[in-house]
Amino acid sequence: MPHLTVHSSAKVNLCLDVLGARPDGYHELRTVFERISLADTITLKSVKTGKITIHCSHPHVPKGPKNLVYKAALMLKQDFSISAGLDINIIKNIPVAAGLAGGSSNAAAVLSGLNRLWRLGLGQKELVNYASCLGSDVAFFVYDVSFALGTGRGEIITPLKSPAKLWHLIVTPKVKMYTREVFARLKLKLTNKKDNVNILLPFLRKGDVCRLAGALSNDLEPAILSLRPDFAYLKEKLLDAGALSVCFSGSGPSIYGLVRSQQHAFDLRARMDKRFAQVFVVSTL
């Protein structure tokens, strides 16, 4: 039976503004996504059983209908009356529930991969519509771009052009942090009401890394630190090690330092405490 292997990249948020609560229970956001080189590998194989099966050695990855990958495959299978089943094998490199959107990226990779494997003929707009049904971050990964502005829940995507290739050192504590728990701690009246995204965008468009470093921000940081005050130490550790700037990605717990170069990232990694096992040198993809 035919098979296909796809790569599924992570993201960081260079800026995340929370504008307010929405009637649908979500929050209105403005965020700048960056696609990064940390990635999972997914193999899709059509099978005769008619069933969708997920294989992954990571203990925290759901193997059934709770996985966004399963939901993505099931939507296409039902909508296009596909009789074949599907074996999905995920080699997980992106930490789970870490603010790096690994699950969302996996879902987008499966949507795009099955479009090819099953020859569905879907265009980008149609794939984005499916992605938006699955989650707020999924649509970004349907676009083959390095940077994008996300609005609405984060699902309305506007690709951004930039000459920048950024380097980061990402540290992910071995703690799962769920988006709903972080947003539950968010005190909207205390969020920064500056338009941080529009402050950052000119520096990104020019590729001005030094000024970009000064514009990184995340309105969810107070909520993250209210859950885990000890993460403030990690932020200080990265700054003391020489990062240009440090920011949480999404709802955390991953924190990244923007650095000058790949070598700068490796130098910082060498200075980090050995107890931080999940440390990644990554670049813009």
Q: What is the C-alpha to C-alpha distance for residues 76 and 110, in angstroms, rounded to an integer? A: 10
Q: What is the C-alpha to C-alpha distance for residues 205 and 163, in angstroms, rounded to an integer? A: 7
Q: 3-state DSSP call for residue 264?
A: helix
Cα dist. 234→138, 175, 249, 280 in Å? 28, 13, 14, 15
Considering 17, 40, 137, 219, which one is annotated as catalytic? 137
For the chain, the helix, strand and coil percentages under 3-state DSSP, each to the nearest 5: 35, 30, 35
**125 included as an active-site residue:** no
CB atoms closer than 10 angstroms to residue 5: 12
Q: What is the C-alpha to C-alpha distance for residues 145 and 46, in angstroms, rounded to an integer? A: 28
Q: Are 10 and 36 in contact (CB under 8 A)?
A: yes
- Strand duo 27-47 + 3-21: pairing: antiparallel
**195 included as an active-site residue:** no
Q: 3-state DSSP call for residue 7?
A: strand
Q: Are 221 and 190 in contact (CB under 8 A)?
A: no
Residues designated as active site: 11, 137
